[in-house]
Amino acid sequence: MSALLVRAEGLGKSYPKVYRSRDRLRALGRLLLNGANPDSIGVLRDIDLEVRRGESLGLIGENGAGKSTLLKLITGVLTPSTGRVTVNGEIGALLELGAGFHPEYTGRDNVAMSAALHGLGAAQLRERLPQIIEFADIGQYIDEPVKHYSSGMIVRLGFAVVAALKPDLLITDEVLAVGDESFQKKCVKWMQDYLEGGGTLLLVSHSMYHIQKLCRRACWLRGGEIVMQGDVFDVTQAYLAYHEKKSAPAVSSDTNVTAGLEFSVSAVELNGQDSQIPLMLQWGDAVRVTTRIRSRDGRTPSLAIGIVRVDGTPVYGVTTDMDGTAPMRVSDHEYACELEFEALALLPGSYTVRVHSMDPEGVRLFDTVERTFVVRGTSRESGLVRLPHRWKGAHAVDGAA
Amino acid sequence: MLSGALIRRFVTRELRNRFAGSLWGGFWALFQPLLQLAIMSFVFVRVFSARVPGLDAGGYAPFLAVALWPWTAFADGVLRATTSIQENAALIGKVAIPRELLVLSSVAASFLIHIAGFIAVVLVLAVASTGVHLAGLLPALLLYIPLAALVAGLALVCASLQVFVRDLAQALAQLLPLMLYCAPVFYDRMQVPPNYRWLFDLNPFTFYAETFRAILLGHGTFDGGRLLVACVVALGVLLVGHVLFRRLKPHFEDFL
């Protein structure tokens, strides 16, 4: 195990509730007397985090989850309210768009100021200035006041300074999103080289693509607390599944009324497992959907089975009627049927199987039962399914992911 | 973290901020005090015919000038530094920056500007042969050291309190002129009834006004014991400022 670079123990941050001027005076009195500040709103609670040298950690979470606050605590911009954080190395941080840049001064002046803030001496700055200007690649604008810059140019300049510093720990907070495609690529390339050279990265991004490309570990924050921490693919998938679920329209799953239905779904098993807990699968595993249908008047029902992603995007649906089959009769009012998908081509993510009971003609839909399964894996392919494919006129490259 | 390069950058930036957008820039730093000297000489000496016992008609201008310029450095230093944390709220909470630096560079900029003005005024007075001892210029500049320490201490106290209580800067703008008139700057201590003269010693600026005059004009006597007391007071205030600032600075971002 390599050396510990960042260690946060029980880290928390809360802001005092200050509504009126009188509250400020009271807060001052309290701080001077005993240092305590009880009336406060917590934004971050009990964060335990370790980052080792050479690691790359992605921070993900919704807006307001406390990601930026955590980064600011680590960089020392903010002071923790509880717990403590120790950093054993130089930090290069790109926290906010144009933070620390003075709008009236030129890019060149601001680079000098920024470099000085990062502890760079005058001689070192002179030596690295051409390199910074070249990396930023904003042409004549370097001698213009920063207030005339576009947001993309500000990020270019900011990143160029940090890149020239070659810090032990690089911290960036969703600033890449502002840069254009070519600059983003340049930054990602630089970060990859930096990581290969033993650098340590702490990245906040809403782009799971960037997180998965650059980070090996991820940490998911929600409401100021760590929900999940670990392998980047596990965490990002869980996070995406959470979002898919959140944005999916609420499905009414009222089962009390099913008894009176002409055809109701009485049981559904996925690979022999009958529970609401999602079934875990690997890519290419087989899935068997075993169902039982109650028929009130004993007629043979038909059955529809579909797979949708958790956000409701349909992937595939089929009925017994379409395939010219019908459920088998097991008793007077019970029918059973099993559908098998061998070697499921679905890409990693969360999916729902929906089983619908229908009338014998396959026209009216009576009942719906859902089961969830999760395809785990580290594939970086995008989309829903892996389509069979082959590259032609290409050759294998070493180290391809 | 508090590297030389960083301090230099901040002081230069502070100086540029003060003259930002003005056509003549730093020229004002020298021109303004001289213009002010001319105006004061006219108003006090010609219009009011102000006199100080023991000095002739032309003596009032240098009498006032050598005490007033250190006062300007004092007042400007305290007042501007008081709002320095509040005004740099954009930096605090965005970048890791030693927060003392904001206060101290503001004080340093004030002193650099007003010391330059002071030198210009003393040189002009010496050329005009108004009884200013040019040999006293170097000791006078050394006297700015305890004055700067005193101002730095007061600035640290005021800047950290200003973050919490925004009325402080307003109050100071009223209190500082009061402190000026309660110090023997426009008049001499000897002009007030003997029973009340000791009260002046409660004003920390009295020592500086009188000592600048003793060094540069030979008006009054230089007292080594009082210098020692002034140095101890300055260091004490600086220490209090340092302790208070360190106590409050972790909470600045919450109240800005």
Domains in chain A, ordered, with CATH?
4-246 (3.40.50.300), 256-376 (2.70.50.60)
User: What is the ipTM metric for this complex?
Assistant: 0.76
Residue A258 has pLDDT above 60, yes or no: no
Determine the pLDDT at residue A219: 93
Question: Does any domain span residue B141?
Answer: yes
Q: Give the H or E element holding residue B214.
A: helix B204-217
User: Once rounded to an integer, what is the mean pLDDT over residues A339-344?
Assistant: 88
Determine the pLDDT at residue A36: 61
- A28: chain B residues, CB-CB within 8 Å: 161, 164-165, 248
Residue B2's pLDDT band, with cuts at 50, 70 and 90, is low
Cβ–Cβ below 8 Å for B254 and A16: yes
Closest-CA distance of chain B to residue A12, Å: 14
d(CA B29, CA B32): 6
* Whole-number Cα distances in Å, A28 to A16, A198, A324, B165: 11, 45, 79, 8
Interface mutation target, options A117, A126, A175, chain B, most CBs of B under 10 Å = A117
Annotate A337-356 with b (16+ C-beta within 10 A) or e (fewer): bebebeebebbbbbbbbbbb
Interface mutation target, options B164, B165, B170, B246, chain A, most CBs of A under 10 Å = B164
Least confident of B61-70, B123-132, B133-142, B209-218: B123-132
Is A58 in contact with A219 (CB distance < 8 Å)?
Answer: yes
Determine the pLDDT at residue A400: 46
Question: Does any domain span residue B7?
Answer: no
Residue A253 has pLDDT above 60, yes or no: no
Is A114 in contact with A183 (CB distance < 8 Å)?
Answer: no
Question: Does any domain span residue B251?
Answer: yes
First-to-final CA distance of chain B: 23
Question: Does any domain span residue B4?
Answer: no
- A21: chain B residues, CB-CB within 8 Å: 165-166
Question: Does any domain span residue B106?
Answer: yes
Number of domains chain B contains: 1
Question: Does any domain span residue B11?
Answer: no
Backbone φ and ψ of A2, nearest 5°: -80, 170
- Is the backbone of residue A62 left (phi > 0), alpha (psi -120 to 50) or beta? beta
3-class DSSP assignment, residue B219? coil
Question: Does any domain span residue B99?
Answer: yes
Determine the pLDDT at residue B204: 93
Question: What's the distance, CA B53 to chain centroid?
Answer: 26
Cβ–Cβ below 8 Å for B165 and A24: yes
Residue B240 has pLDDT above 60, yes or no: yes
Which residues form the domain of B106? 28-255
Is A226 in contact with A220 (CB distance < 8 Å)?
Answer: yes
Cβ–Cβ below 8 Å for B164 and A25: yes
Cβ–Cβ below 8 Å for B93 and A16: no
- B161: chain A residues, CB-CB within 8 Å: 28
Backbone φ and ψ of A367, nearest 5°: -140, 155
Question: Does any domain span residue B10?
Answer: no
User: Once rounded to an integer, what is the mean pLDDT over residues A383-394?
Assistant: 86
Tokens coding B93: 């909470």
Interface mutation target, options B158, B254, B256, chain A, most CBs of A under 10 Å = B254
Residue A321's pLDDT band, with cuts at 50, 70 and 90, is confident
Tokens coding B18: 């003060």
Cβ–Cβ below 8 Å for B3 and A116: yes
